[in-house]
Structure 1
Amino acid sequence: MITALTDAMTKLIKGLPALICLTIILPSGAWANDPRRIVTVRHQTFAPYELSLKGFVNGIRQSPLSHGVVLEDYNANGDLAALDQFIQALKTRGDVDLIYSIGTQATKRMVKEITTTPIVFTDLGAPETSGVVTDWKGSGANYTGVETRNYVSIGINLLYELIAFKSIGMVYLKGSPSHEGAVAEVTKLSREIGFDYVTKGFALRDETGKKYPKEVIRKNLKEALDAVAPQVDVFYVQISATFSRNFDLFFDSFKTYQVPSAGEPTYIQKGLVIGIGRHKEKFGAQCAEYAVKILEGTDPGTLPMDVGKEFSFSLNIEAATIVGYNPSIDILGAADEIYREIED
């Protein structure tokens, strides 16, 4: 049942821009008179985040504690100032039993500012680089999460076993903890395995912190792609809302230089050839399992965080054909999903 916002919640969010806050009350039952309240938080709308949220909500619905659980969803829609305001307001509330934090921007702020309410997180690009994880065995604090340690290098290693490329390329966002962490991961992996790693970064903001106009970002992205793509056998695309919005530039570069692409599965219907990465919906479901344990009394600081094991592997046949890549029987056999066409 979807309910209207309470007067208290309305006062809480008054004046906060870019807010989507929906309260969902799951079926009443054992906790009907004393419902547990979970707030889900993310800093922007992004397809992988929505999958993680879907997995979490479904996991809570299917759990033994689903009766009498209240879910509130907050999305800052890319407004980090609004996110900060919301977190400050959240600190003063006494009615929240658990926070589900999705993405690096929300999580690194959440664990810094909120030190008593339990937090469960996922979708961190580089948990250690962002400062969230210092010990994967447990935080020793009020938070835990479901992640895969060094997931980018794991994905690229799996890709190497299937393709045995001699060189791989990547562009990245300067100043992004997840992207810069991944660059460090792959640099180390390239030395261990023996392939060439070509990369180039660019910034989304100027030295004052002001975001560049869209046309400047696209220009800088195209220059980075043109610098890397001609030099490599395969191109890896990291997860990024900026990359998703501008994937046409990636696709044009892959066509121009006839380079097969791999990376986050979220791009597979946009024209990525091989999608290889974390299974977001299953990670969300695992987070729901952690949430249930915590609501039943488990200390979140004792729960390990490197428990995300499910990877997905997908293939887009049309994208492969356009760049002249003929997938092997091994690639076809490994694919969990095969897409025949690129979405318009």
Structure 2
Amino acid sequence: MIRHLAPVLLAAASLLAPALSQAQADPGSSSPPTQVFPTTPISKPGGAKWRIAYVESGDYADYPLTLGEIADGLQSLGWLRFTSERPEGLAGRELWNWLAANTESAQLQFKADAYWQPGNFDASQREPMRAAIAQRIKEKADIDLIIAMGTWAGQDMRTLGPPVPTIVGSTSDPVAAGIADSAQDSGRDLLHARVEPERYQRQLRLFHEIVPFKTLGIVYEDSVAGRTYAGISAVQQVSQELGFTITSCHAPSSSISAVAANANAVRCYQKLADEHVDAIYVTSHRGVNSQSLPEIAQALKQAKIPSFSMAGSKEVELGILLSLARADISYVGLFHAETMARIFNGAKPRQLSQIWIDPPKIALNLSTARIIGFDPPVDILLAADEVYEGK
């Protein structure tokens, strides 16, 4: 059932070339010509500071993690200095308050009161939040750039225009979510969203090469946002391409408590395990996190079902069998920080490349492999950049 990996990695690497060449050759018919903008620290005209606001979709671990790395990136570029060591494990609001109080900069300022969230993924609060942001910008005109974290936040800022330069991070698929028009063009002069073309297609092709499954289990909320988070269009595309069938379980996650979202996710993965699908693709979902993953991974291990994480190494460490090892998130933070720096140096967000592609590197959990009877050949062990034991 398991194939040797050396040719698979070469194939995975070759999949990057079309995406890169397309990104270079098709900048979008309405995009301005590419220009080079510096990342050098610079104040606003007249010597004032650039004022930054923050919008996030809800409480999700990846959001403050990415925000912290953006701040680290700005520090490495010389835009700011932390006055104390940046703490780990803070939630989004806590981290935003910390950044506002613990950074020194002659060029920029994190506005402590310029933070918005629609409750904790509460759909009913999105429109009031958008109205509050629009009113703040219109009446006070004291925001120069917005960091929008997550799919909802990106969609909400796109709905607003956006009225000021906005960078969007930590989204599963900003093009499918309607945040950006394409990988090459956001479609809005003041909008920039990091895009990784065919990321999920590459993951699924690699997974199928290693474990040539005939049925693939996936869990997602049956909503527009839920299908976007789970990369459903990519799963469907690759299923038609490779000839496997999809077995789905719907797990509601928005406008409910975190405890309920976790329970729904665990229930669905247990259901798929009981149905003995050939393999499971663990997709992005509010209920899949460090609290629920050990139970999810245990259910899959007991059923001896190979699993692949959409999110990457952090879930492999918690018991999922495989993933593509993601580049150090500090590089993602630096990508966003450089984008912000170039905007402050005169670029329109739409002029800057949105393309980001992680290298095809394997993450493997050896303990999970032993439990499910997956005996990795030598070449998969040699190809694995991250190997975990336990969990």
Relative to structure 1, the CA distance from residue 215 to residue 300 in structure 2 (aligned partners, 3 Å threshold; closer, same or farther) is closer
Following TM superposition, by how much is the alpha carbon of 1:220 offset from its aligned partner in structure 2, in angstroms?
7.1
Instruction: Look up the match of 2:231.
Output: 182
Instruction: Look up the match of 1:13.
Output: none
Following TM superposition, by how much is the alpha carbon of 1:189 offset from its aligned partner in structure 2, in angstroms?
0.7
Relative to structure 1, the CA distance from residue 79 to residue 182 in structure 2 (aligned partners, 3 Å threshold; closer, same or farther) is closer
Instruction: Look up the match of 1:169.
Output: 217
The DSSP-based 3-state class of the residue aligned with 2:333 is helix
2:346 aligned with 1:273: no
Following TM superposition, by how much is the alpha carbon of 1:311 offset from its aligned partner in structure 2, in angstroms?
5.7
Moved more, 131-140 or 156-165: 156-165
The DSSP-based 3-state class of the residue aligned with 1:198 is strand
> Quick one: which amino acid aligns to residue 120 of structure 2?
G
Q: How does 1:1-344 map to 2 (within 5 A)?
A: 31=43, 33-66=47-80, 67-68=105-106, 69-72=108-111, 74=115, 76=117, 78=120, 80=122, 81=125, 83-84=129-130, 87-88=133-134, 90-92=136-138, 93-141=140-188, 142-177=190-225, 179-180=227-228, 182-204=231-253, 211=256, 214=259, 218=263, 221-223=266-268, 225-227=270-272, 230-244=275-289, 245-263=291-309, 264-265=311-312, 266-276=314-324, 278-279=326-327, 280-310=329-359, 313-342=362-391
Instruction: Look up the match of 2:96.
Output: none
The DSSP-based 3-state class of the residue aligned with 2:387 is strand
Following TM superposition, by how much is the alpha carbon of 1:42 offset from its aligned partner in structure 2, in angstroms?
1.9
Determine the C-alpha separation between the residues in 2 that align with 1:249 and 1:326.
23
Native 8 Å contact 2:166 2:191 kept in 1: yes
TM-score (norm: length of structure 2) = 0.69
Determine the C-alpha separation between the residues in 1 that align with 2:332 and 2:361.
11
RMSD: 3.0
> Quick one: which amino acid aligns to residue 105 of structure 1?
W
Instruction: Give deviations 1:269-315, integer Å, cap 9, x for gaps.
Output: 32212132654442222111111111101111222323344566422
The DSSP-based 3-state class of the residue aligned with 1:242 is coil
Determine the C-alpha separation between the residues in 1 that align with 2:359 and 2:226.
19
Native 8 Å contact 1:127 1:178 kept in 2: no
> Quick one: which amino acid aligns to residue 167 of structure 1?
T
Following TM superposition, by how much is the alpha carbon of 1:164 offset from its aligned partner in structure 2, in angstroms?
3.6
> Quick one: which amino acid aligns to residue 117 of structure 1?
V
Structure 1, unpaired ranges of 5+: 1-28
> Quick one: which amino acid aligns to residue 366 of structure 2?
I
Moved more, 195-204 or 108-117: 195-204
The DSSP-based 3-state class of the residue aligned with 2:249 is strand
Relative to structure 1, the CA distance from residue 191 to residue 228 in structure 2 (aligned partners, 3 Å threshold; closer, same or farther) is farther
Determine the C-alpha separation between the residues in 2 that align with 1:64 and 1:221.
44
Relative to structure 1, the CA distance from residue 292 to residue 215 in structure 2 (aligned partners, 3 Å threshold; closer, same or farther) is closer
Following TM superposition, by how much is the alpha carbon of 1:254 offset from its aligned partner in structure 2, in angstroms?
0.5
Percent of pairs with identical residues: 21
Relative to structure 1, the CA distance from residue 259 to residue 72 in structure 2 (aligned partners, 3 Å threshold; closer, same or farther) is farther
Determine the C-alpha separation between the residues in 2 that align with 1:213 and 1:122.
22
The DSSP-based 3-state class of the residue aligned with 1:41 is strand
Relative to structure 1, the CA distance from residue 120 to residue 212 in structure 2 (aligned partners, 3 Å threshold; closer, same or farther) is closer
Number of positions where the alignment pairs a residue of Structure 1 with one of Structure 2: 310
Relative to structure 1, the CA distance from residue 51 to residue 229 in structure 2 (aligned partners, 3 Å threshold; closer, same or farther) is farther
Higher relative contact order (CA 8 A, sep 6+): 2
Determine the C-alpha separation between the residues in 2 that align with 1:293 and 1:221.
43
Relative to structure 1, the CA distance from residue 158 to residue 298 in structure 2 (aligned partners, 3 Å threshold; closer, same or farther) is same
TM-score (norm: length of structure 1) = 0.78
